[in-house]
């Protein structure tokens, strides 16, 4: 367990004002988006010619997470909004997934194939802190108990976990970059200006994912490329881990396994890329928690040569579980 933090006065002042610790990264979320030239230019253009609002809104969902992000009509314009509560959830899931993967998947896998030449040892203290954050993240899907986020080390008071917290901060920024760009894409594609129908919305969501990837792809070869790829993997892992029914698109979005397969394909990863391992770990976790896979079945899985094989294995199990549980919600024509 993490020790309760010793707090200095400057931290107390920030903490008393913050809704959740992630609020300390609010300005970073905006500047991170504007740093991507293609996105900044598109935003400018949408504001000038397509009724996009120049103001941006953060929602504080004080009961539980209901909406991750949205673009909504405000005074004849369309405003992009992100939920800070969902951003906190993203951050906490990211901290957990990264540390779980690094310590509990990657090191044992390196040991198994004799590749741990530096003799890395799992950091069990980091894993314990990360599990605590994951517990807090899951709470946000049911109720917001903001104080519990300040009883442990956090973004505003990182203590001994500074390095892993900064890593999670980066992943959260990459994830919110995608969320923001997806909402921008709805305006760019004109979806905000036409009456949305139930029949059309799945196609619109797929198109918005597609355009968001087109914009963000330009960063992949730059200094934030890996962070953004991890962030996108984190976002879809987090959407999946929201609950048992999150595998279904509910007729308004493509099913989550379909979205994940499309997005991961666009990341153009090497078969040994850790990001396959990260998202594969999230899928495996969902399957174990929600009964898509028994522990016995899981123990019989593998061994896997590449992280891509690991990911492919669990994604195909996710797809078959979703097809069994939600066979009819989306018109079959969509899934070709």
- Residues near Zn ion, by CB under 5 A: 205, 208
In the complex, the smallest distance separating the C-beta of residue 240 from Zn ion, rounded to whole angstroms, is 16
Q: Given the complex with Zn ion, which of 71 and 155 has the nearer CB atom?
A: 71
Q: Given the complex with Zn ion, which of 182 and 308 has the nearer CB atom?
A: 182
CA separation for the pair 68, 85 (Å, rounded): 8
In the complex, the smallest distance separating the C-beta of residue 210 from Zn ion, rounded to whole angstroms, is 11
- Contact (Cβ atoms closer than 8 angstroms) between residue 85 and residue 68: no
Instruction: Say whether the peptide bond before residue 303 is cis (omega within 30 degrees of 0).
Output: yes
Contacts of 263 (CB under 8 A, 6+ apart): 209, 213, 232, 233, 236
Return the structure tokens found at 266. 């666009």
Contacts of 37 (CB under 8 A, 6+ apart): 218
In the complex, the smallest distance separating the C-beta of residue 79 from Zn ion, rounded to whole angstroms, is 14
CA separation for the pair 59, 176 (Å, rounded): 13
Q: Given the complex with Zn ion, which of 61 and 205 has the nearer CB atom?
A: 205
Q: Given the complex with Zn ion, which of 102 and 205 has the nearer CB atom?
A: 205
Q: Given the complex with Zn ion, which of 68 and 156 has the nearer CB atom?
A: 68
Residue 129 parent element (H or E): helix 124-139
80: β partners: 71
Q: Given the complex with Zn ion, which of 190 and 271 has the nearer CB atom?
A: 190
Contacts of 225 (CB under 8 A, 6+ apart): 219
In the complex, the smallest distance separating the C-beta of residue 263 from Zn ion, rounded to whole angstroms, is 13
CA distances from 310 to 41, 304, 316 (A): 38, 6, 10
In the complex, the smallest distance separating the C-beta of residue 204 from Zn ion, rounded to whole angstroms, is 7
In the complex, the smallest distance separating the C-beta of residue 252 from Zn ion, rounded to whole angstroms, is 9
Residue with tokens 């957990």: 96
Q: How many residues does the chain have?
A: 336
CA distances from 266 to 88, 173, 210, 213, 309 (A): 26, 19, 9, 7, 17
CA separation for the pair 247, 335 (Å, rounded): 14
- Contact (Cβ atoms closer than 8 angstroms) between residue 314 and residue 280: yes
Q: Given the complex with Zn ion, which of 132 and 209 has the nearer CB atom?
A: 209
In the complex, the smallest distance separating the C-beta of residue 72 from Zn ion, rounded to whole angstroms, is 12
Contacts of 118 (CB under 8 A, 6+ apart): none
Q: Given the complex with Zn ion, which of 86 and 149 has the nearer CB atom?
A: 86
In the complex, the smallest distance separating the C-beta of residue 194 from Zn ion, rounded to whole angstroms, is 14
């Amino acid at each position: 367990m993490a020790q309760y933090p010793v707090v200095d006065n400057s931290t107390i002042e920030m903490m008393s004002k913050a809704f959740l610790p992630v609020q300390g990264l609010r300005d970073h979320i905006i500047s991170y988006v504007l740093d991507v030239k293609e996105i900044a230019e598109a935003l400018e253009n949408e504001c000038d010619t397509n009724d996009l609002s120049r103001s941006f809104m953060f929602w504080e969902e004080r009961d539980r997470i209901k909406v991750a992000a949205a673009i909504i009509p405000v005074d004849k314009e369309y405003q992009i909004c992100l939920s800070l509560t969902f951003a906190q959830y993203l951050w906490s899931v990211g901290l957990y997934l990264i540390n779980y993967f690094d310590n509990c998947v990657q090191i044992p896998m390196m040991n198994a194939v004799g590749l741990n030449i530096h003799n890395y040892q799992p950091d069990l203290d980091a894993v314990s802190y990360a599990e605590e954050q994951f517990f807090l993240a899951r709470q946000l899907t049911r109720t917001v108990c903001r104080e519990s986020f300040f009883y442990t080390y956090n973004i505003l008071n990182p203590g001994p976990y500074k390095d892993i917290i900064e890593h999670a901060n980066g992943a959260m920024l990459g994830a919110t970059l995608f969320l923001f760009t997806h909402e921008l894409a709805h305006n760019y594609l004109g979806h905000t200006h036409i009456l949305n129908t139930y029949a059309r919305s799945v196609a619109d969501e797929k198109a918005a994912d597609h355009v968001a990837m087109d914009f963000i792809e330009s960063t992949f070869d730059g200094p934030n490329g890996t962070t953004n790829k991890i962030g996108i993997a984190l976002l879809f892992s987090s959407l999946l881990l929201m609950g048992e029914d999150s595998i279904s698109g509910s007729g308004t979005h493509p099913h989550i396994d379909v979205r994940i397969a499309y997005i991961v394909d666009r990341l153009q990863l090497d078969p040994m890329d850790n990001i396959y391992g990260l998202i594969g770990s999230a899928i495996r976790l969902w399957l174990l928690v929600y009964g898509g896979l028994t522990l016995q079945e899981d123990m019989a899985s593998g061994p896997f040569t590449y992280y891509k094989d690991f990911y492919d294995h669990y994604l195909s199990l996710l797809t078959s579980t979703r097809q069994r549980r939600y066979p009819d919600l989306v018109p079959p024509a969509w899934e070709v």
